[in-house]
């Protein structure tokens, strides 16, 4: 796939200032992508649930650029305040897209973004943030040029652009569940972008809960970017990529059939496998914390005593995601409050569930912040 288009430029005299706004959710990987190659391409396919509450709200203001300069003219405001670090990273990302969107260097861009969840909370803010920005960009393309021939092309391009910013962000473009990576049993699947599997989800999984235990909000000792790089020398990498491919295929079947017990077995094994890969890297590193392990033991005990299908997963950090069907929400919430909050920083957790995906929002006047 090649979206390169050097002719995608604008006539400055015809561009009126405007703004576009998207709210895009984070996602939780059920089968993990860990290891990449090329330009943000995955070593193995993965599958995720798209969340509902954990999301990023991004507004992209644009106008004709009045002063000549190199690269892309962009300023980014996080929670209403100018953020130089995010501005630099966003500028680098947008400049990497110039072969696809050469018109970006003809505009002045201002981005206002905020999250519905705390920073460093063990939720993939890069997934929600980059998918929201990618959706703004594809909407900008459609505003300045012609509409896409069909909505599938629109979503695929947004997913493609999101992947270039953050690999897992490509899955957040779709509601319900999404697969990223080529999978023999899923027509249309690709390493270049994610594809939705929402229509095939069993009813049990369409309103599944994901409550996130905030074990620690400290900055990780090893970033996910560095962790992906360390997979290149991991002695178990080849076997892992084959395992993940098999598991993504099986998880897809499980989600269609509604088998919550097998879902949980795969979910927990994937979480522990991810962290085992970290511990077997060179150099090895450890992101889980003592309270993570204590909470896992309580979860195992709860399940043994109640026979209720509450299972956990982990991203690349210490914070636990508890997944369970809506039918047992009352029991799960009581268990969390009475037995698990003691292991959480400030006794906090975030309640979430499977969501319907990104939403285009109205721009309700000038965004706050600015100089």
> What confidence tens digit (pLDDT) does each residue in 85-121 have?
999 999 999 999 999 999 999 999 999 999 988 765 5
Mean pLDDT of 146-168: 96
Q: What are phi and psi of 10, to 5 degrees?
A: -115, 160
Same-domain pairing of 258 and 295 = yes
pTM, rounded to two decimals? 0.94
Q: Where in the sequence is the domain holding 142, given as residue range(s)?
A: 19-200+356-361
pLDDT of residue 67: 84
- For 227-273, the pLDDT digits (tens) are 999 999 999 999 999 999 999 999 999 999 999 999 999 999 999 99
pLDDT for 367? 45
CATH number for the domain including 41? Answer: 3.30.230.10
Percent of the chain with pLDDT strictly greater than 70: 96
Q: Residue 214: its pLDDT value, please?
A: 92
Q: Once rounded to an integer, what is the mean pLDDT over residues 189-204?
A: 93
Distance CA 125, CA 248 (A): 23
Percent of the chain with pLDDT over 90: 88
Same domain, 162 and 277: no
343 in the same domain as 250? yes
Residues paired with 56 in a beta bridge = 24, 115
- In this prediction, residue 371 carries a pLDDT of 38
- Averaged pLDDT score across all residues of the chain: 94
Assigned domain for 368 exists: no
Number of domains into which the chain is organized: 2
173 and 237 share one domain: no
Distances 77 to 124, 165, 319, 367 between C-alpha atoms, Å: 19, 18, 27, 10
Q: Are residues 281 and 345 in the same domain?
A: yes
**pLDDT of amino acid 223:** 85
Looking at the fold, whether 151 and 24 belong to one and the same domain comes out as yes
Note the pLDDT of residue 199.
Answer: 79
């Amino acid at each position: 796939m090649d979206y390169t288009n050097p002719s995608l430029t604008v006539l400055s005299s015809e561009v009126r200032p405007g703004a576009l706004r998207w709210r895009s959710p984070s996602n939780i990987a059920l089968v993990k992508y860990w290891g990449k190659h090329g330009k943000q391409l995955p070593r193995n396919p993965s599958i995720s649930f798209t969340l509902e509450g954990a999301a990023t709200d991004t507004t992209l203001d644009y106008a004709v650029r009045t002063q000549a300069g190199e690269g892309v003219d962009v300023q980014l405001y996080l929670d209403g305040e100018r953020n130089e670090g995010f501005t630099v990273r966003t500028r680098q990302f947008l400049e990497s897209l110039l072969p696809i969107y050469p018109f970006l260097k003809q505009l002045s861009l201002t981005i206002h973004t905020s999250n519905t969840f705390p920073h460093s909370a063990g939720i993939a803010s890069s997934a929600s943030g980059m998918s929201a920005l990618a959706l703004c960009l594809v909407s900008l393309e459609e505003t300045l040029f012609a509409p896409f021939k069909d909505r599938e092309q629109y979503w695929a391009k947004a997913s493609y652009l999101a992947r270039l910013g953050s690999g897992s962000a490509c899955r957040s473009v779709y509601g319900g569940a999404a697969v990223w990576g080529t999978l023999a049993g899923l027509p249309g699947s690709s390493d270049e972008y994610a594809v939705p599997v929402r229509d095939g989800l069993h009813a049990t999984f369409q309103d599944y809960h994901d409550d996130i235990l905030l074990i620690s909000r400290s900055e990780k000792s090893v970033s996910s970017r560095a962790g992906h790089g360390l997979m290149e020398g991991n002695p178990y990498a080849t076997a892992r990529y084959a395992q993940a491919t098999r598991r993504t295929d099986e998880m897809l079947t499980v989600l269609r059939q509604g088998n919550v017990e097998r879902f949980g077995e795969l979910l927990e094994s994937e979480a522990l496998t991810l962290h085992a890969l970290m511990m077997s890297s060179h150099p090895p590193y450890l992101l889980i914390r003592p309270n993570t392990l204590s909470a896992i033991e309580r979860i195992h005990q709860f399940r043994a005593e109640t026979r209720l299908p509450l299972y956990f997963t982990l991203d690349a950090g210490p914070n636990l995601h508890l997944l369970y069907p809506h039918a047992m929400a009352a029991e799960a919430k009581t268990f969390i409050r009475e037995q698990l909050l003691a292991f959480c920083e400030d006794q906090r957790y975030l309640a979430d569930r499977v969501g319907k995906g990104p939403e285009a929002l109205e721009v309700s006047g000038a965004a706050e912040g600015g100089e």
